[in-house]
Structure 1
Amino acid sequence: MKKLFFAVLFLSYTTQAQITMTPDLLWKLGRVSLEDLSPDGRKALYGVTFFDIDENKGSKLIYEIPTSGGTASLLVDGEKNLSAAGYITSGQTWFIHAGQLFLKDGNRITQLTEIEGGIISGKVIGLSNGKLRILVVAEVPNPTYRLPQYKSLTKAKFRLYDDLMYRHWNYWEDTRVQHIFFADVPPAAERLQLSAFRDILEGEPYDAPLKPFGGSEQFVSTADGRYIFYTCKKLTGKDYAVSTNSDIYRYEVATDQTVNITSGQKGYDLNPVISPDGKLIAYLSMERDGYESDVPRLMLYDIATGTTRLAIENTYLHDVVWESNSTLLITYDDSATVQIGRVSIDLRRNRYALTPVTSGWYNYGSLRTAGGTLLATRMDMNHAPEVFRIDRRGQATQITQVNTGIYNAIRKPTVTRRMVPTTDGRQMLVWVILPPDFDPSKKYPVLLYCQGGPQSPVSQFYSFRWNFQVIASQGYIVVAPNRRGVPGFGREWNEAISGDWGGQPMRDYLSAIDHVAAEPWADESRMGAIGASYGGYSVYMLAGLHEGRFKALVSHCGLFDMKSWYGTTEELFFANWDLEGPYWADPMPRSYTEFSPSLYVDRWTAPLLVIHGELDFRVPVEQGLQAFQAAKLRGLPARLLLFPDEGHWVLKPQNALIWHSEFFRFLDTFLKN
């Protein structure tokens, strides 16, 4: 049915007059993920998530497609909702459905697990002895956490904590942790319960992979079955809350012994991947404890000798995959794009070189390589991710066409790039997105987009919330600066924001908007500022600094008062690094004395829309409540939009449509009407 629906959708759009992107149409797009590449490089698995607005949920279908291009087919008949899939051999795959692992061999499907409560993630690899190694992540009781028993008070509900961190992003810590389990079984095994698996962290009170965002990329097994390597932060309480010191651990199957292979490294160590010959582990490592946005260095660990080498530093890396025993492929931030690069390895001379593979105004991700084939997802500000094949010259060929029909049928904004001088004599890359059918003889309302992170680039991303294509298609010019603090422009530019949230980054924003406001087609009398997280903080900060520039402001999950935020956020390593310590430090950091938006409320003049998720524990909802209350007490037009069942992001389809509706209703009221 899904295929038929999108075929009809394609025909209806291509036979109509061209339209522009809208929030409703945005939710009709299929969201593409690259799942895996077959060992011979000839076939790929990719997922497409479609959303049913009436049901208020999505379902993910997984397809198989020739990497040379051609017709895709469903991996599993019946349009089952699959969460992940991968290859064991070129003719044998695994997939996860309804929280259980399944094996597909030809047309035969076998249920491998029957684990109570389901698995969180997992994978299957073929061992050299012919067996399958099944790796799953499942929850177990935390051996160190016990609630007191009040057996007579059966209707009481309470949480009780003696240490940090007691909540994280959008969930409360409780009596359970997630562990990695494995079982080595013949291919004919069926319906294994958790008791058939071995817990490689048995009795330990730690989460592996890291919560809340770590997945199967954080654990891997050698093909000979001897070792499992995994990521874990083996800290608890306050130590866990103030540190980023995760490590890579080597678990030896025969002895049940675990060794920390990164014990001398103080920051995040993540995502081990094994070379084709099984001799080396490549992984990402951050040098400094507590700095979540430190430069991820590429490290190489020799399994036989236990030695570690630094291969690449000072480049902001993302994906890492082995192309051969002497080359790796990576993705990295480069001047507001994400590109693919090739790393050559000369262990004998201890030499490593990074050579760009791709170029252009694109973001690449989800690398897979095998059999001489390289696949990746690619997106830009006018196109959601699709799967591409990249040749040795860096030329990309699109092999999935999930959303091609819709994109061919709409009139798109024009994305332009300019270099803007800053107040301290630097040059800043700024994207300026012009509405479809842009007419330079007309005047348009202008929106300054403030990026979150704060160490996150304004690259060629395609967001399903902060979607520049949708915003520009409603008749707005979008100004999106790569202000101080974003990666991809050198280490100094990236690190300049720490301790200076309300300083030079705010001046960068004003430089960008002033530069564009000088254009004849920009209406200076109809300008606004929008942003989320640190971008929401930026909106609150600019509310007291803009000197009449803006006539409407929208802040989503923004930080308003730095003292109260420090006292209620959860990942304190982030607050300690970026704010340069707590508010009781002596001397008190400028983050509290100069850079708290609450200090400048007496200067607020612009109408304000505050949006916040009540399950946001990163930037708790009280930040938004304080800002809204301040605006109303100042006598300003203000609106408060709360989502009781959302956290830092708005993820549910119907909530997202309300988000966009209120977003544009507010902006149109003050910038169009």
Structure 2
Amino acid sequence: MSNPYRNGDVPLSEISSFRIPYGNHPSQYGDLRLPTSLGRSPIVVSIHGGFWQSKYGLELNDPIVEDLTRRGYATWNIEYRRVGENGGGWTGTFDDVIDAINQLTQLEKSYPLDLSRIVILGHSAGGHLALWLASRNHTQNDAFEKTLRIPIKHVISLAGITDLKRTWEIHLESGLDGSLVSSFLDGTPHEVPDRYRLASPIEQLPIPATQLLIHGELDRHVPVELSIAYHQKAVEQGAHVRLLTLPEAEHFQLIDPASSAWKSVIDSLETLFSE
């Protein structure tokens, strides 16, 4: 279905915003934004980055979800428990993002949402969680208590952390005093190898969803090599995956609505919704 508001001209007076909990913890909530004049809207679920650390929150993605809502999409910008909060990290963060997605089945009862058209969009650590969520369509195991009740058909990973073990190695090679990945999983790949295997998107391939990887070649926070390696393995395993590398883009330009990189994201999103 074509989008009549692709240029972002939904009037602000026709946009409603709601902060809605999906659990009892202060970080278990999402911000739902709706273009109220358009009827049942396709949904972009937004998952923010920040290396899963509690000092970074969903406001990182506020500019892009505001832009997306002006373009006619409903947006569900989710918060989740992170490292530094009670219950964050292994396995609470994973449980939270599943619960936040499942909450859409309740929101549909009260708001004009089209659950047949959902794209999960994650940036950086949020890209990791988005790809991991898509793997839950066909993978269940005893490490995670929650069951995903909504099939995920489309994912956009913006500079996503696709390989947790390799990211841990990159941090080690960079001379960091402790990897943010080991803080997230509460251990190194040598100490808790099963956690790295179960939580890393590259270890879940092939994932039964259309996956689009967008990564800036100038990214110093999450090297583009992670998306390149993931794409190569996914293609070898027959996954429906595409890779778009942006030669002039760095990490945060992918979530800057004023950047040319964001235009690439918008064009890709429209392609996914038209499939």
Per-residue displacement from partner, 1:595-634 (whole Å, max 9, x unpaired)?
A: 11122213x1221110112232332212111222233334
The AA in structure 2 aligned to 1:416 is F
The AA in structure 2 aligned to 1:536 is G
Structure 1 residues 21 and 667, CA gap change in structure 2 (3 angstroms):
closer
CA contact (8 A) 2:131 2:157 kept: yes
Structure 1 residues 660 and 641, CA gap change in structure 2 (3 angstroms):
same
CA contact (8 A) 1:643 1:655 kept: no
CA contact (8 A) 1:22 1:470 kept: no
The residue number in structure 2 matching 1:398 is none
Correspondence for 2:134 among 535, 540, 543: 543
Correspondence for 1:665 among 267, 272, 275: 267
Q: Distance in 2 between matches of 1:421 and 1:577?
A: 24
Q: Distance in 2 between matches of 1:651 and 1:595?
A: 24
Superposed, 1:427-576 pairs within 5 Å as: 428-435=28-35, 437-439=36-38, 442-453=39-50, 454=52, 455=54, 456-459=56-59, 462-463=62-63, 467-485=64-82, 494-500=85-91, 503-519=94-110, 521-546=112-137, 549-569=151-171, 570=174, 571-573=176-178, 574-576=180-182
The AA in structure 2 aligned to 1:580 is D
Could you say what the CA RMSD is over the residues aligned between the two structures, in angstroms?
3.4
SS in 1 for 2:196: helix
Structure 1 residues 508 and 524, CA gap change in structure 2 (3 angstroms):
same
Q: Distance in 2 between matches of 1:640 and 1:470?
A: 23
Per the normalisation by structure 2, the TM-score is 0.77
Larger radius of gyration: 1
SS in 2 for 1:663: helix
SS in 1 for 2:264: helix
Per-residue displacement from partner, 1:23-52 (whole Å, max 9, x unpaired)?
A: 7x9xxxxxxxxxxxxxxxxxxxxxxxxxxx
Per-residue displacement from partner, 1:283-314 (whole Å, max 9, x unpaired)?
A: xxxxxxxxxxxxxxxxxxxxxxxxxxxxxxxx
Structure 1 residues 506 and 630, CA gap change in structure 2 (3 angstroms):
farther
SS in 2 for 1:627: helix
Residue 664 (structure 1) shift: 2.3
Q: Distance in 2 between matches of 1:461 and 1:639?
A: 23
Q: Distance in 1 between matches of 2:256 and 2:166?
A: 31
Q: Distance in 2 between matches of 1:652 and 1:426?
A: 25
Correspondence for 1:577 among 183, 186, 190: 183
The AA in structure 1 aligned to 2:76 is V
Report 1 or 2 for greater relative contact order, CA contacts < 8 Å, sequence distance ≥ 6: 2
The residue number in structure 2 matching 1:416 is 18
Residue 555 (structure 1) shift: 0.4
Q: Distance in 2 between matches of 1:544 and 1:451?
A: 18
Q: Aligned residues: percent identity?
A: 21
* 2:211 matches 1:620: no
Q: Which runs of 5+ in 1 are unaligned?
A: 1-18, 26-406
Residue 543 (structure 1) shift: 1.8
The AA in structure 2 aligned to 1:550 is I
Greater share of residues in helix:
2
Residue 561 (structure 1) shift: 1.5
Per the normalisation by structure 1, the TM-score is 0.34
CA contact (8 A) 2:48 2:60 kept: no
* Count, aligned residues: 254
Structure 1 residues 634 and 652, CA gap change in structure 2 (3 angstroms):
closer
The residue number in structure 2 matching 1:385 is none
Structure 1 residues 518 and 600, CA gap change in structure 2 (3 angstroms):
farther
SS in 2 for 1:417: strand
The residue number in structure 1 matching 2:142 is none
Q: Distance in 2 between matches of 1:481 and 1:515?
A: 15
Structure 1 residues 652 and 589, CA gap change in structure 2 (3 angstroms):
closer
Q: Distance in 1 between matches of 2:266 and 2:250?
A: 21
The AA in structure 2 aligned to 1:582 is T
